[in-house]
Structures are given as structure tokens and as C-alpha cells.
Structure 1
């Protein structure tokens, strides 16, 4: 029997003493892929050809890959293509391809399959009409049959099978192939329910290739479903800021891609028409989020005369601005005029309606809207009477009947039983997030501000709520907003901002990071505290989710106050901003991995649409660059085992290695005996390895390289290492 058996590879379990670790746990590691129990490499960061300013700290893509679309399909052999996005065979073998091709040097293919009991080929092909033979597809997933509702996955490159370790798929698995001609690569992804996982990258692929969707299916009634085939459009630039900001998507216009920006001076908005013009940097321009209310009531000039009372009236006016997409921003109303009695035959002219002087920075105005109150026994509401761009000297000749049929003033809400003014957001508002109920929440100091439902630019002062400590950031989970402070957390509950309640939680748990360290998930809001990563669920219950992973000292050494954090593929990915360090925490499995970016990280963004993390990196020689974290080619891993005590003193002289060394990949093995590194040994294939003869009281194993290592058995002799 082998003296030391490492039959799977796991990450770090820092809180445990080394001697108490199982054999498969690491004592140190860097940039390892351990998701399937083997030791494999991760990819390096991929440089994108998008310029970045030298002081960029935060960013957002101006454009994203095109929406998924259903291709027009062609029945090549015995297939039913009558259902859009679906291919179903009508005989024992069928083939179908798309009539659409992408010639811009890039393409994305996404699909699912309806079964796991047969052979299915799906991929990208340059000339699908030339042959219905599935083996001729240029770049394809080869899905092989399995049992129990599962199948296994291989790849096909130009008729040549490629083993990628037989990952398992089901009928719910989503597959994706991306051809990126600018980088010369084809990437294969699978999503089994936790986001797309990169399975393989084919390098040295020519650029500007023309690809079609192509397929081959064995068996009658076999189907490919939810087929999407689109061009991968490189983003032509990013919005970028020289300070961390908070971004919330506006709901009032999807086509305009409007965003709310807080944390960079007064709150702002940007959209395609405003922010994406010119040659960059972007946003080219922003506008203040909201318009201030007029300071003074309109002037009134009474003309004519009469003896019969017509009614009692009052007027207010608002500023408004019509955005290029037709949506309107409207301010809260001016102070009202005095209620005056107007006789039949008298005229009223409104005067001295003026824009702010001096002008309010960042505001644009289209004109004013005038509202009139006609006081009766049953109504005392202001109704719209006129919209005009000339702000002075308007004769109000709108009849009472016509005015009462017009819209009621919205920006002074009377429906709650007391007037609620649509106040412009305060200049120091930051951390703005959007709730599922359509209202926005931001903060300043120890005050929380809530917007009107579906109105991003109105934050009534009467909706504001207070905490007893300075606020650090906001998160959202379930139906509550978690307010994180420098002391006790608070939660906001309610679906209507007019009636939202605030509750101070009865424990102290300061958030020590900035707002970009806070992660909102369905299970709870996750944030760095002094003791570790904490999570507060929608009942207000707090859990220290890293309690069984790190000691307080170990946690402090990670510099959690610098984190930019994401929940990515089921794990916490925390970038230590200002360094190359990346901390990957699987709090469900209770393990921790260390990673390192290629260069110093200044900012990061998780794009859920394509399940990638983008980073701004910094280097003295190249300046700041935009990269896809772990989106490039394979890089060397480093993994070291625990220290194994040998009693009595023993010579571990033989190793038995199991792994995958295809493509010429190698690994390096270094024995550490009594704390001293022996000469490294290059491993080029499976089998026995001579480790040299040296007696020691303890040993540890260091592994590095790019070959996949599945198992290692160590012994005092060849027969012992082979006896597994």
C-alpha cells in the first residue's frame, strides 16, 4: 500500500492546523482550478483592445454583446425545423445548419439539447452545406450518451476528437461556443446551473473566419433547442470614472440604456444619446439627476373687470426637460400663488416665471409647465393648463372645464394625505440601488433617501429615514434593503416608499469595506466585517459565513477593507484593489483559494450577461488596461501539500502519477524533505517517478505547471507506490 495517497486535490483550509488536515488539502496554492477534484490550471487575464484612461478606478461597458437571436435554419437531412430555434430529427440521423453567417470575425452560439441518450454534434462550421457528416464540423461540442439522465461531453476540432475530461451534462445544461477572431481563439462554455464555466480554449485560430451554425444528431426524435446565434460585437468603449461610483439601471427607457451615477459629485444620469457621443473618453456628458424646483411663485397680473365671481384660483409652475428619447424630467412645483378670487370678465396673466440664476450645474431645461388650482367644495387639486418654453407673460385663457379634464400635478403628491414634494436628489447622495418594487434607495451621512416609485429623479424629503451611525453602503435581498453602517446594520421593509419602515438590528456588525465590497444575493447581503465575510438575510439574521475558514488574524491579513467583491460561479471572488491579489472563497465548502491577476487591479466589473469578470489593471510600463479576468490562455498553477510526518525517518523515493498530459503539457514536482526543497522533477506523463533517496522526518509535495494531475501515490519503493 502506498505510504502517502493524494486522490483528490482541494484548496486551503486556513483555520485548521496543518497536522489535522486531510491529505488532499493544500498548505499553499496559487491559481489552481480544483473544481472537479483534479489539479488543473486556470487561465491568465485576457487583454482587450479597448483604451483606458490613466486614472480610471471604475467603469461600465457602453455597449454589451448583441441580444441573443434565433437563426434561420436549413434542413440539410431529415430534420424538422418548423419550431424557431429548434432542430428535431425525423429519421435515424439528421443534420441542420443556419442560413445566417457572421463575417466580422466573431460569433456566439448558445443552445441546449433535449436528451442525453445519444450522440449529438453542435458547433461552428465554415461550409455546412458541403457535407451533412457531423465529423466535418470545424469546432463542435460532441455530446455522448450516458445513463440516469446524464451524458458526457467531448469536443471535435476539424474531425479530430478532443477529450476535456468528460464533464457531465443534463437536458438542463446550456452550452456556449464563442469565436473571437481578434484574439484568435474559440472558447467552449457549459452552464449546469451556476453560471457559464469555461471548459476549453482553442488557440491559434485564424481571424476573420465566416461561421455558420451546424449540427448532426443520431436517432429519431432527437432535438437541439433554444438555439441562439449572434455576432460577438466588441464593445467600442467603456464609461469610466476616476473614483469608485455606484451605478443603477433606470427603468424608464430600455432602448436608451439610461444609468444613474452616484458617488462622483452630485447624482447624474447618462444614456446613449448623451454619454456615448464622440471619440471618448466616455461618458462624453452627463446631466444632473433631476431638476430643482422654482424658488418663487409666479407673478400675477389681473386685467379687465367684472361683478360676478367666477371662482377662486391659485397657480404653480414646474421646470421640465424632454430627453432625446421623449421621456420627461419634471421638477417639484414652485411655491403657490395666493388663492385669489377672479370675476367673470377679468383676465389673469402669469409673469416672472424664471429659470434659476445662477444656473444650476448640470441641468437642462425645455420649458415650464403651469398648473392651476380651481377650488370647489369637492376638489382642491392643481391641474395642468399650459406647457411653454417662454417663461414669462402668459395669459391664462384655459376654461375651468378644460383644465379639470387635464392631468393633475404629479410632482406634489397629495394621495398620501399630506403633500409630498418630488424633491431633487441632494448633491451628496450616493450608493444608489434599485429595489424590486421600482423605487431607488441612496444615502448620505446617516440618512437614507427613497425615490418615488419608477421615478429615478425624485427623492422626497418626507421619505427619508435616519440611522444612528454613518452609513457605509446598501444591499438588497428578498424584499428588504440592508443598510450597512459603521456600527449596527438596519433593514428597510415595505413595498411603497411612503410607508417603508426602518429597523435597527440588535447587534454590532460594522461594514469595513466600501460599497463595491457589498454583494446583494437572493440568500442575503454579503459584506466584509472585522471578523470575516458576513451575510444578513431578509429576516435580519446575520451569519459569519467565513467563521469556519479563517481566524480573525488570517482574515485581517487579507486586507478586506480594500475588497471589490462578486458572487461568481457560486464562490466569492474578492479583488484586493491596489494589489494583484485575488481571494476566492467557497463558503459553502469551507475552503479558500489564492489567485493573482497579471497586474495590479484598480477596478473590477461582473457582467452577468456573459458571465465574465472584467478588470482594470495597472502597470508602470503599459499604464491602465482592460482585461477579462482568467479569460486568456492557461497559466502555471502552484500547489503544495500539507507536511506529512514520517516515523521512523523514511526515504520516499518513488511516486505514481495519474493525470492528463495531452498537448505536450507538463508538470513540475518538488519534494520538500525536512523543510528543504529537493531538485524539481519534470513530469511529462503518467506512471512512476524517481524521487531520489533521502531519509527525512517529514515531507511535503510541491506541484506546478499546466498538466492536469488527478492522483499522486508516494512510497518507499516502486511496488509500494504502485500498490493502490
Structure 2
């Protein structure tokens, strides 16, 4: 009995020769769901929101699970909440300077939000003192400083201190020259502090009063015993303007990078970034990710691991592999670790160190053809989903599938693809003026990594834990939209394409029949069979009945391609109809 049987279906392994693949592995796998052993098409992503503007979004996010935000450029965002906060306050880097937004500032769904600068600056001008009447007892030397405070109670570092002046207990002291606060930071009050010397002899700044931000004068006559709490914001600088790549750490603090430095915020005070909480690395930082309680800093050469429960007490260790991150937009944090594209492939940093997860799947040259520097990505349900701009060189046999926009077409340039129309598999040029590109899915959830490709492009991704969902920014005939990659329940499926390995017989053989065991509820299926590189059969199927192959030839090399919307359970080729049922 002569038979080729494919009972399981898996992804592609480009670095392995077509004839050396395992039975279930493919030479082409596009838009395929390969999670169960069966071959099924991915769903058409569900359009859930139209985005503002006609430009490709660089970033999208769902703010507090309620409001969609988008930006025309690449930004990073991290929750900037404090205990009890329910406003969805979020820190954003990658704009002109670090900014903060929340639900009250979000504006229209799908648009860039209004925001304000993150952090509170120190007043530049020292207060001026003028002693007044009254007071009795022993004179004491005093000085004053003041801080700016936002409408959320966020306090910045103090002003330069005033000149030291002698003051009697209960004497009036006029404090004036308090400068007006800068715009754009939501500053609503000023807090005034005065030096006091308690019994331990250590001088402290103690709270005197809080006044409205526009007031430049205060008359103080308080006794030392009436002063309030000590100044706690002495080291609380705003984040540097060049901060990038903000991420949230588990213990309530944020991390970001500028140049070759890692910066941290005060725990639960996302507006305060002390200078003492900075780490200097050997080379420029290109991206940050988090797994567990560990911060991963990808750099221009070696990745660095940073761990610690408080930013004042963290430790660093450098991994031995020189694997720089080439696209921060494709750096993704997950329960497995932090994944990012490097020149050699996709690199994973986890609890066991670092490893190249694509090493057994593709060569460096094949990976570079995907232009990893253009990638954006996210991890969802153990799958690394990435998109890349159209490669300059294309080793992936895309002629089988072409390239298309997500959910429809836009007027403009054309791309070439195969489309199943009823009973015909048509070749057509699809008009498309969105940035062309494709994508891939790397399933890391099983014992073996499975790679498949996507023949459409998205410009940004957002994983939303509160909904256990992965969202994409993609184009259709109406413009740019947010799509749910899971699709609609009962919705349509994408056209998938799966091409088998090259099956090589010991001697030329004659195969007479083929049967595709499939579920055709979602749509039809096209099948093409090659023998010794020559196409011998091309049919459209609507059921699982066997087909006869043309007779009168023998071949050593056999290959089969299926495309369409049906779910395939098994493929059999045999030398007779009877053997198909054996």
C-alpha cells in the first residue's frame, strides 16, 4: 500500500529543507490556527472602533478598560495610580516630555488624549523675609522654603531656602516673593515650610501653611509647637524630559530610561523621580520589559536584569549574550519572560536566563529578511504576535498568498493575492494605500515553538488584561480602526493557506486519489497537488468526498496545498480509492 497521510498540522520551519520536515510541518502556513492539531483558519478580526485621523497609528491603548486612546507615533504607557485612585491615571513617554492623563482628560474615543506634564518642578526663586512686630523669648534662627502642589496633592521639591533670619517665638514674619507656578502641570497650591530644631538637634523643614498657587505672600507667626509634618519631597524631582520606555513594576514604582541610565519613581508616587534612584549601564538602553519582579533592560549590546523590592535597593546582573534590541515596539512582557527582536532572531529573557527562541526555526538571514527593526508585537495567551513592514527581500513564497489590508481595502496602490470566490480561486490585484507589511505568530505555549505567518498588517497592538484580549490598529475601506484579533462569535474566517513538506518516495510512485477530511461549515477549500514540482491537480472542494488524480505518470516528490476557510482534520493521498479508506 502506498499512501501519504497528514493527520496533524503544524507551522513552518524555514531553516529546514522542504523534504526534511516532519510530516505535520509546513513550507507555507498563513492565517492558520494551529493550536489543536487540526488546521483551521484564523477569524477575521472584529472591528470595534473607528480611530481619529487617516494616518497609521503608532500606538493604541484602552485607558482603565473604558476609553480608547491612539497616537500617530510610538509611545509607551504605564499605570500611574496611587492607592485608592480610580481615575485611570496613566504615565506616557515618547512625546515631547513625560506626560500623564486620566479618564477626565481622555476626550473622544479613539483619539489622542489631552494630558499634562508629569511631575512637579521646584520653584526657582527663594522666598524673601521681612521680620515684623511682636514675639517674646529667646531668638531663634529660621529660614523658609516652599513647594508647588498639584490639584491631586502631588508635591514637588522645595525652592532654594531663604536667608537665615532671627525670629522671636510668636513674632510676625512676612514671607514674600513666592513665584507663580509654571503652566501645564496642574499646580493649584503652594506649601510653606520653616526650619525648626527639635531636641535631637537636627534641623528640619516643618510645614507652616498651604496657600493658593497665585498668592505670593504669607504672614507667619506660628510657634514651633504649632508647625506640622516635615518636608518629605526634598528629593522628588520630576522625570527628565528625555525619559522613554516607561513600565510599571510590581511594588508600585515606575521605571524608564534615558541614554544609558535607568530611572525609577518613588513607590506609589509616579510624579516623583529622585536623582538617587538612577542606575548607569555600560551602553545605551533601547527598551524595558518586566517579568515577575525583574526589570529587563535591553541595550545596544548585552541585556541587563534589575531586581529589588524598592528602587533605593536594587541589584543588577548582565547576561552573557550580546543580543541588542532592534525594535522597542516589539519588546513584549509575558509570564514566560520578556521577548524582543535582536539581529539573530527573537530573544527571550526569563528566570532561566536568555535564549534565542527562533534558533531552531530560521537562520539569521531569514530573520533579517523580515526587517525586525520595523516590528511591533505583543504577547497574548502564550503567542507572540508581531507585524513588520514589507521585506525588501522575500524568501517566504508569498506568491501563494499575497498581502492585504485588514478587514478590507483602501484606494491607492495594489498588492497581489489569491482570493477564493465561490468555486474559483482567483488571482487579483487588491487596491491598498496603507503601509504594506505582514505578520507572524510564534506560539510558545506548548512543548514545541510553532511559527505561522499573517498576510495582513497592523501598525500597533495592545494587550488588555482586564478583557483577556489582544487588539490591533489596522486599516479597512473606511480608514484606521481598532480590531479585536479574536473576531466576532460566529463571524467569518480569514482565507488560510497551508502547504505541506515535500514527501519523497524511495522510487517513483503513482498516487491515484486524495481525500481532504474537513469541516466545511465556515466555507470552501481549494486543494492543489504537485508531483515532481509539476501541478497535477487544482480543485475547489465543498465536501470531504475523495478526488481522483490524473493517471499516467509516476513521481518521487509529492506536495499538497490547501487554502480557504474550512477546518481540515486530515489529508490522505493513496494509490487507489480503496486505500483511502484503509
**TM-score band w.r.t. shorter chain:** 0.7 to 0.9
Structure 2 residue 404 is matched with structure 1 residue 591:
no
Structure 1 vs Structure 2 CA RMSD: 2.2
TM alignment of 1:384-423, pairs within 5 A: 384-389=207-212, 390-403=214-227, 406-412=228-234, 421-423=235-237
Displacement of 1:256 after TM fit?
Answer: 0.6
Shift of residue 449 of structure 1? 0.9
C-alpha distance in 2, partners of 1:504/1:721? 57
Q: What CA distance in whole angstroms lies between the structure 1 residues aligned with 2:191 and 2:236?
A: 15
Q: d(CA) in 2 for partners of 1:641 and 1:280?
A: 44
Distance verdict in 2 for CA 1:63–1:392, change over 3 Å: closer
Q: TM-score, normalised by structure 1?
A: 0.69
Q: How far apart, in 1, do the equivalents of 2:166 and 2:307 lie?
A: 46
- Contact kept? 2:170, 2:222, Cα under 8 Å: no
Q: Tell me, what secondary structure is at the counterpart of 2:266?
A: coil
Task: Trace 1:641-720 onto structure 2 (pairs within 5 A).
Answer: 641-662=500-521, 665-693=523-551, 694-720=553-579
Give 1:720 deviation, angstroms: 2.5
Within 2, Cα distance between the matches of 1:391 and 1:238? 39
Q: Who is 1:275 aligned against? A: 106
Cα shift at 1:294: 0.6
Q: What is residue 73 of structure 2 aligned with on the other side?
A: 243
Map 1:252-291; keep pairs closer than 5 Å: 252=82, 253-276=84-107, 279=108, 282-291=111-120
- Is this contact kept in 1: 2:339–2:349, CA < 8 A? yes
1:381 equivalent among 204, 214, 223? 204
Following TM superposition, by how much is the alpha carbon of 1:500 offset from its aligned partner in structure 2, in angstroms?
2.2
Q: Map 1:113-128; keep pairs closer than 5 Å.
A: none
Matching residue within 307, 310, 332 for 2:157 = 332
Give CA-to-partner distance per residue, 1:476-532, whole Å, 9 cap, x none.
122221111111222222222122233444442211112x21122233221111111
Q: 1:479 to 1:623 in 2, by over 3 A?
A: same
Task: State the partner residue of 2:345.
Answer: 532
Alpha-carbon distance in 2 for matches of 1:657, 1:273: 56
Aligned partners of 1:642, 1:37: CA distance in 2, in Å?
16
Listed as ranges, the matches of 1:127-166 within 5 Å are none
Q: 1:523 to 1:716 in 2, by over 3 A?
A: closer
In the alignment, the residues of structure 2 paired with residue 293 and residue 505 of structure 1 have an alpha-carbon distance, to the nearest angstrom, of 39
Q: 1:597-616 counterparts in 2 under 5 A?
A: 597=456, 600-616=457-473
**Equivalent residue of 2:312, what SS?**
helix
Structure 2 counterpart of 1:298, from 110, 121, 127:
127
Displacement of 1:5: 1.2
- The answer for the alignment partner of 1:341 in structure 2 is 166
* Structure-2 separation of matches of 1:636 and 1:624: 21
Q: What is the aligned counterpart of 2:273 among 443, 459, 464?
A: 459
TM superposition shift of 1:594: 0.8
Shift of 1:712: 1.8
Match for residue 80 of structure 1?
Answer: none
Q: CA deviation at 1:62?
A: 4.2
Structure 2 residue matching 1:243: 3-state secondary structure: coil
Q: Secondary structure at the match of 2:309?
A: coil
Given candidates 478, 482, 489, the residue that maps to 2:296 is 482
Contact 1:434 1:441 in 2 (8 A): yes
Is 1:542 the equivalent of 2:354? yes
Q: Indicate the residue corresponding to 1:498 in structure 2.
A: 312
TM-score, normalised to structure 2, is: 0.86
Q: Deviations over 1:401-424 (max 9, x none)?
A: 111xx2221102xxxxxxxx1001
How many angstroms apart in 1 are the aligned matches of 2:498 and 2:368?
A: 23
Q: Which residue of 2 aligns with 1:576?
A: 388
What residue in structure 2 maps to residue 128 of structure 1?
none
Deviation (angstroms), 1:697: 3.2
1:294·1:333 contact (CA, 8 Å) conserved in 2?
yes
Give SS of 1:15's match.
coil
Rounded Cα–Cα distance in structure 2 between residues aligned with 1:49 and 1:521? 26
1:63 offset after TM fit, Å?
5.9
Aligned residue in 1 for 2:60: 59
Paired position in structure 1 for 2:194: 372
How far apart are residue 281 of structure 1 and its match?
Answer: 6.5
Instruction: Report deviation, 1:431.
Output: 0.8
Contact 2:12–2:452 under 8 Å retained in 1: yes
1:604/1:616 contact within 8 Å kept:
yes
Q: CA contact under 8 A between 1:270 and 1:283: conserved in structure 2?
A: no
Separation of aligned partners in 2, 1:635 and 1:523: 29
CA distance, structure 2, for counterparts of residue 353 and residue 635 of structure 1: 65
- C-alpha displacement at 1:284, in angstroms? 4.4
SS in 2 for 1:553: helix
On the 8 A contact 1:435/1:441 being kept in 2, the answer is yes
Q: CA deviation at 1:643?
A: 1.3
Q: Could you tell me how far apart the structure 2 residues matched to 1:9 and 1:343 are?
A: 88
Give a deviation string over 1:263-283, Cα, whole Å, max 9, x none. 11111101111223xx56644
1:396–1:471 distance in 2 versus 1, CA, 3 Å: same
Please state how far the C-alpha of 1:472 moved relative to its aligned partner: 0.4
Offset at 1:695? Answer: 2.8
CA distance 1:549–1:368, shift in 2 (3 Å)? same
Distance 1:601 1:367 in 2: 45
Query: Deviations along 1:67-93, whole A, 9 cap, x unmatched?
Result: xxxxxxxxxxxxxxxxxxxxxxxxxxx
Match of 2:225, SS? Answer: helix
Change in CA separation of 1:9 and 1:502 when aligned onto 2, cut-off 3 Å: closer
Please identify runs of 4+ aligned residues in structure 1 that moved more than 4 A. Answer: none
How far is 1:533 from its partner? Answer: 1.2
| Unpaired runs of at least 5, structure 2 | 390-434
Distance across 2 between alignment mates of 1:328 and 1:283: 26
Separation in structure 2 between the aligned mates of residue 531 and residue 284 of structure 1, nearest angstrom: 37
CA offset at residue 22 of structure 1? 2.0
SS of the equivalent of 1:333 reads coil
* Partner SS for 2:70: strand
1:32-52 CA-to-partner distances (Å, cap 9, x unmatched) read 122111112211122234333
2:330 to 513, 517, 520: 517
Report the equivalent of 2:14.
14
Q: Aligned to 1:609, what secondary structure does the other structure show?
A: helix
Aligned to 2:417: none
Secondary structure at the aligned position of 1:275 is classed as: coil
| Aligned-partner SS, 2:50 | coil
Q: Is the 8 A contact 2:129 2:163 kept in 1?
A: no
